[in-house]
Amino acid sequence: MEALIKVKNIRKVYQMGEERIIALDDVSLDIQKGEVVCFLGVSGSGKSTFLNMVAGLEKPTKGEIIIGGIPIHTLNEENVTLFRQKNIGFIFQSYHLLPMFTAIENVSLPLIFRGVEKKKRDNMASEMLAAVGLAGYENRKPSQMSGGQQQRVGIARALVGNPKIIFADEPTGNLDSHTSKEVIEIMMSKVREHNITLILVTHDKDVSCYADRIVTIQDGNILSIENNKISKGV
């Protein structure tokens, strides 16, 4: 079967005055539908750069990114935004919730962009909050929730639009190890249940254990790819 995501020889060079920073040197990888792939590497190794390019948030200096047959590196801003809204969910290290919005309003946001009407949005968002264990928290604002609860809201928001692919950049980076495990297990169970392709970026080996494949990245290149047969797939 053809890979859902094909990354071909991508390179990203940032020019900072006189200095050229090679954030990604030459990275190629195919990712199958429903696969959970973890990018593991120390800070500065190029993980976020990789993720941002595959998600169409940045253009590579060289190379191709083809998702479901669409060469997303060639799309203009408007089309890439539409592509993201339709196909992609994001989970961030610092949650990126809107502080003045309640949990249900935060989860509803992707549906507003899709033009779903209010009543349906509220139903879908509250169902998704319940699915991540937050029934009863609909009207809490981010400041009234713990870090783990805020990240569950982040997961619900990523899932609510029924994306084909989720990108998670250090999703447990701000959480203690116990909460981190809870959050990762909720994320994994939802991803498996809906056969979503997950690209997960972390510096934490314990988090990488949940993936089907672990791609170790160092200085902008893939150092190794390990099939994780004992993935803690929930």
Give the closest residue to 118 by CA, choosing from 129, 108, 127: 108
Q: Which residues of 204-233 are buried (b: 16+ CB within 10 A; e: fewer)?
A: eeebbebbbbbbbbeebebeeeeebeebee
Interface residue with ligand ADP among 43, 76, 143, 227 (CB under 6 A) is: 43
Task: Select the span of 46-54, 78-86, 97-105, 185-193 touching ligand ADP (CB under 6 A).
Answer: 46-54
How many C-beta neighbours within 10 Å does residue 127 have?
Answer: 13
Q: Which residues in 36-65 contact Mg ion (CB under 5 A)?
A: 48
| Nearer of residues 48 and 108 to Mg ion, judged by Cβ | 48
Nearest distance in Å: CB 58, ligand ADP: 8
Does residue number 21 form part of the binding site for ligand ADP (CB under 6 A)?
A: yes
Nearest distance in Å: CB 83, Mg ion: 22
Give the closest residue to 51 by CA, choosing from 150, 180, 155, 165: 165
Q: Which two tokens stand for residue 103?
A: 């949990």
Give the closest residue to 132 by CA, choosing from 175, 191, 90: 191
Task: Select the span of 37-45, 83-91, 144-152, 192-200 touching ligand ADP (CB under 6 A).
Answer: 37-45
How many C-beta neighbours within 10 Å does residue 13 have?
Answer: 14
Q: Which residues in 86-115 contact Mg ion (CB under 5 A)?
A: none
Nearest distance in Å: CB 120, ligand ADP: 37
Give the closest residue to 66 by CA, choosing from 138, 2, 143: 2
- What distance in Å separates the CA atoms of residue 86 and residue 50, rounded to the nearest whole number? 21
Nearest distance in Å: CB 51, Mg ion: 8
Collapsing DSSP states into helix, strand and coil, what is residue 85?
helix
Task: Select the span of 38-46, 107-115, 134-142, 153-161 touching ligand ADP (CB under 6 A).
Answer: 38-46
Collapsing DSSP states into helix, strand and coil, what is residue 92?
strand
Nearest distance in Å: CB 14, ligand ADP: 3
Interface residue with ligand ADP among 36, 47, 54, 208 (CB under 6 A) is: 47
Amino acid identity for residue 190 in this structure: K
| List of residues contacting Mg ion (CB under 5 A) | 48
| List of residues contacting ligand ADP (CB under 6 A) | 14, 16, 21, 23, 41, 43-49
